[in-house]
Amino acid sequence: MTMRSLISGVIATWALAGGMLLLVIVLATAVNAAGFTADMIAGLWGGDVPGLSGYEDGVTMLIGVAALAMFPYCQLHSGHAAVDIFMDRAPARVRRGVAILSGLLVTALALTMAVMLVFGTLETRSDNVETAVLGWPVWIFMPTAVLSCLLWAVAALMETFGPEARHA
């Protein structure tokens, strides 16, 4: 197994984990929405059906983890936004130059985000920041964002300079 295929597998597995978290969020949202509907119906007869306690806390923490887990996979498979309409008629050397420049900029952005998230994690932990209802420590969710950003930077480099890179 090559290093490239190993990294690609890690990125794919990370994206699948993010997708599973999104599924959990969707299911929790469906249950919560059903609870609101049941509460409205029960209210007609003086009853009460509570929503999921801490729903907002869970969704707020998990959505950031889940969404950012998708970025490396999208980058590796060119699933990111591109402005091809302007580049289609450009000479091959210009297209390749723009691809390299944009790949390096995305790498720099992802690495900068990773560094800032490390500092944010340390600060959030030292400040003992917790979610409002469930009291979960917020910093526990942040290292996953750091890992996502590092994988995103690696994916950008692999896409930019790997064998599948567009040498148009």
- Where in the chain are the domains? 3-161
Structure confidence at residue 85 (pLDDT): 72
Structure confidence at residue 168 (pLDDT): 43
Structure confidence at residue 120 (pLDDT): 97
| pLDDT < 50 stretches in the chain | 167-168
The answer to whether residues 152 and 71 touch, using CB atoms and an 8 Å cutoff, is yes
What residues contact 163, with CB distance under 8 A and at least 6 apart? Answer: none
Per residue in 89-117, pLDDT (tens digit) is 888 898 889 889 989 999 999 999 999 99
Structure confidence at residue 107 (pLDDT): 96
